[in-house]
Amino acid sequence: MNKIHIAHIFPGLLNCSGDFGNLKAITRHLEDDKITTEIHAISPDDDFDASKYDFFYISGTFDYNREKLIPALNKIRPELEKAIADNKTILAIDNGLVLLGKYYEDLSGKRKECLGLLDFYTVQGEDREANNYLFDVDGLKIVGFENHAEKIYLGENLKPLGKVLVGNGNNGEDQTEGVKFNNLFGTFAGGPILPKNPDFCELILKTILSKRAKELHFKPLKTEIAAHEYLVDRLESHQTTSNNF
Amino acid sequence: MSLRTIFATTLSKASSAVLKRTGHGGTNLPGRIAKKIDPNILTKLSKDLKIIIVTGTNGKTTTTKMIAEMLENAGVSFFTNKSGANIQTGIIAAFAKNTSLNGKVKHAYALIECDEAVFRQISRMIKVDTVVVTNIFEDQLDRFGEISYIKNVIKTAIENQPKATLCLNANNPNVIDLVNSKSPNKIIWFGDKNATKTPDILLKKIKNTSIDNSEFEINTKNGKSLSINLNLPGEYNINNALAALAAAEALNIKPEIARESLKNVSASFGRAEKLLLKNTPLHFFLVKNPAGATEVLELIESHPEKSKLVIALNDRIADGTDMSWIWDVNFEKLAKTSAKHFEKIYLTGIRSAELALRLEYAGFDMKKIVIIDDYDKILDEVSKNPTNTHILHTYTAMFEIRRALAEKIDIKGFYE
């Protein structure tokens, strides 16, 4: 079948702002190349079979959803584990990424066990970092907006997605941003990330299609390139936010 | 007053006067000075006044203006803080300005437009008579993080004011969550038939709307039916009027006086404000979050006469630095009718490139869209013909457009 099937995990709970743009970037660029797509909204009560899908989108969430989400995600944990081992393409963002780690530690030091699918842990920070930032992924410059107080620390078995050039990244200490494991791309970048990073969007799409033995003729929009270049230029002159008024 | 308070008050008054004379809109500096000298100044300056607080995500400025009009027409002496000065230091400056140096207050009421987080701060310092919460929506992601934060700060503030009368939006679940059966406050609910709480001020029917005003019918608390002509456009302004009518109820202002006030109320700075450039009407709309922007777009869409659209997007701290909110605004709906509706669409401001990207994704015809950095050039272009020009702007963009416009026409200053 020609169709690319996208699993949008728990859109009712994992629904931080701007994520509509990420899914739109995926579908419009595939459809521009005559590849049809279908987005499947997966809810916690559904039977979930990861083998049916080519791409998994796990968005961010609000802190108060964390309690509900851990048991719900644990129900589909075996399928997510299969998807990761099977080199399926997964994009996990912000709190959605955090829940895939080993544990989350709050300000009082109390630890909550998370899915343990990836070798990192999370510690709640005191201050929320909210600013535009720039990081490098294998030579690609990626711009986004980071907005999180959580800090993640990667274990030995886990590579970061990229290196922070301007901004804070995973923890503001070790210059790492996000995670990369098999074809799972994890990042804190909101914005949303894909529309304004056409090269990165192309990378994600090619990764998806590689498992379907399909080629992609990717055509970035002029507006995508312009939005990307504006932020890269601004961040490279070390301006994460506009001047005070 | 103590010597310290007198000194603080004097400095606040003096710096206010200097700033006004030099043409700066900076209404927060005087308060900052005062607070540094006397940290308890707000408690002292406010103790002899009845205080009305207007807070919420959208509609604070407009609702405050409506209540001001009502108090004025009812002959109640009051002062209010200037638009944009809704943080603690701006509020202090307003109190200082309206207190004489021998400690006497010149008015009976203080009508204060108050940012949500600031309400919590000052709720520990002052005694509030009436609280109006217009609505609670997702807003200022960089500052507030998430909506539960906004709910919590307002809830805490209300818990600090058990004697205050609350005017609350019965259609907004987040506002309803602010109180429960144990709340000691007197509550006046406002809303329409779809509200989950029975409104005391009930919107029965919207009779008529235009790009400039609207007509609707309400039931007051004692069941009296009232027909209201509102001098502002859009359903969102009808909601603001309901909030103001609830406040009128709380303040014992006669419904007839409230009605007359809404008929005559003029738009606030940048909030559905209409100005004329040569023969072209310019309509200004402040946008800052998905709920507010989507409502403005719906208003524009519901009046599809041929017009021009200008969107000015900045991301300075006062605008909100996290631009992702524009991806939650329903541009897709407006895109469907945009070909017939708009002669041209101008994008400007610091983040015009992001906006162009958003609009292309929404399905707009990009041939109709042009990015122009220069406000002068845009104003010259749009005033070439007399069709309506709708200008959506973030907070600091509002000042920039106004500055450019002030060189072409005579308009009041920022702080009026």
The whole-number average pLDDT for the span A51-66 is: 89
Backbone phi and psi for residue B212, each to the nearest 5 degrees, phi listed first: -115, -25
Interhelix angle for A19-32 vs B352-362, to 10°? Answer: 60
Count of CA atoms in the C-beta half-sphere (13 A) of A181? 22
What is the rounded CA–CA span in Å between residue A120 and residue B213? 57
Q: What is the pLDDT of residue B414?
A: 46
Mean pLDDT of chain A: 93
Residue A192 preceded by cis peptide, ω within 30: yes
User: Do β-strands A162-166 and A120-137 pair in parallel, antiparallel, or remain unpaired?
Assistant: antiparallel
Tell me the percentage of chain B whose pLDDT exceeds 90: 63
Name chain B contacts of A24, Cβ cutoff 8 Å. 361
Q: Tell me the two tokens of residue A242.
A: 């506009």
DSSP letter string, chain A:
--PEEEEEE-TTTS--TTHHHHHHHHHHHHHHTT--EEEEEE-TTS---GGG-SEEEE----GGGHHHHHHHHHHTHHHHHHHHHTT-EEEEETHHHHTTSSEEE-TTS-EEE----SSEEEEEEEEEEEEEEEEEETTEEEEEEEEEEEEEEE-TT-B-SEEEEES-TTTSSS-EESEEETTEEEE--BTTTTTT-HHHHHHHHHHHHHTTT--------HHHHHHHHHHHHHHHTT-SSPPP-
Instruction: Tell me the pLDDT tens digit for each residue of A75-120.
Output: 999 999 999 999 999 999 999 999 999 999 999 999 999 999 999 9
Q: Pick B356's closest partner by Cβ from A17, A18, A226.
A: A226
Phi-psi region of A18 (alpha: psi -120 to 50; beta: other; left: phi over 0): left
Residue of A nearest to B26 (CA): A245
Query: Which pLDDT score, from 0 to 100, does residue B390 have?
Result: 95
Please determine, for residue B24, whether its predicted confidence score (pLDDT) is greater than 60: no
Closest CA to B348 of B406, B392, B297: B392
User: Which residue from B minimizes the CA distance to A16?
Assistant: B146
* Option in B316, B321, B325 nearest A130 (CB): B321
CB contacts < 8 A, A to B, total: 95
Residue B100 carries which side chain, given as an amino acid letter? Answer: S
Q: Which of B61-70, B132-141, B189-198, B346-355 has the lowest mean pLDDT?
A: B132-141
More confident residue, B82 or A115: A115
Q: What is the mean pLDDT of residues B251-259?
A: 95
B-chain residues within 8 Å CB-CB of A190?
A: 322, 324
Question: What band does B91 get if pLDDT is binned at 50, 70 and 90?
Answer: confident
Give 3-state DSSP helix, strand, coil % of chain B, rounded to 5. Answer: 40, 20, 35
With CA atoms as reference, report the closest residue to B174 among B203, B144, B200: B144
Mean pLDDT of B34-58: 87
pLDDT greater than 80 at residue B6: no
Confidence of residue A243 (pLDDT cuts 50, 70, 90): low
Q: With contacts defined as CB-CB under 8 Å, which chain A residues touch B324?
A: 17-18, 21, 145, 190-192
Quick check: A227 and B322 CB within 8 A? no
pLDDT above 70 for A139:
yes
Return d(Cα B27, Cα B89) in angstroms, integer.
8
Distance, CA of B194 to CA of B202 (rounded, Å): 10
Task: Supply the mean pLDDT for chain B.
Answer: 89
User: What are the backbone dihedrals phi and psi of residue B58, each rounded to the nearest 5 degrees, phi first?
Assistant: -120, 150
The residue-averaged pLDDT of B228-247 equals 94
- Of the candidates A130, A221, A229, the beta carbon closest to that of B322 is on A130
Considering only CB atoms, which chain B residues are within 8 Å of A18? 324-325, 327-328
Confidence of residue A42 (pLDDT cuts 50, 70, 90): very high
B321 closest CB neighbour out of A131, A223, A230 = A131
Whole-Å CA distances, B235 to B59, B230, B247: 12, 11, 19
Distance from CA of A82 to the nearest CA of B (A): 32
Least confident piece of the model among A133-142, B348-357, B393-402:
B393-402
Closest C-alpha to B93, from B17, B44, B34, B18: B34
Q: Which residues does chain A have within 8 Å of residue B84's beta carbon, measured at their own beta carbons?
A: none
pLDDT score for B412: 62
Mean pLDDT of A145-163: 96
For the ranges A5-19, B179-193, B337-351, which has the lowest average pLDDT? A5-19
Q: What is the pLDDT of residue A200?
A: 98
CB contact under 8 A, B316 and A243: yes
Question: Chain A residue closest to B289 (CA)?
Answer: A17
Say how far apart CA B76 and CA B191 lie, in whole Å.
Answer: 26
User: Quick one: B165 exposed, middle or buried, by C-beta within 10 A (0-12, 13-18, 19+)?
Assistant: buried
For A235, the token pair is 């961040």
Give the whole-angstrom CA distance, residue B146 versus residue B143.
9
> Does residue B415 have a pLDDT over 90?
no
Contacts of B212 (CB under 8 A, 6+ apart): B231, B232, B233, B274
Mean pLDDT of B26-43: 76
B29 band by pLDDT with thresholds 50, 70 and 90: confident
Q: What is the pLDDT of residue B416?
A: 39
Single out the residue of A169, A98, A172, A158 nearest to residue A136, CA to CA.
A169
Give the pLDDT confidence of A168-201 residue by residue, as tens digits.
999 999 999 999 999 999 999 999 999 999 999 9
CA B80 – CA B103 distance, rounded (Å): 18
Cβ within 8 Å, pair A241-B138: no
What is the least distance, in Å, from the CA of B27 to any CA of chain A?
A: 13
Q: Which of B143, B354, B396 is closest, CB to CB, to A227? A: B354
Q: Is the pLDDT of residue B314 over 80?
A: yes
Is the distance from CB of A37 to CB of A205 less than 8 angstroms?
Answer: no
Helix, strand or coil, per DSSP, at residue B65: helix
pLDDT band of A245, cuts 50, 70, 90: very low
Q: What is the pLDDT of residue A141?
A: 98
| Most B-contacting residue of A145, A219, A223 (CB-CB within 10 A), to test interface | A223
DSSP for residue B84 = T
Contacts of B182 (CB under 8 A, 6+ apart): none
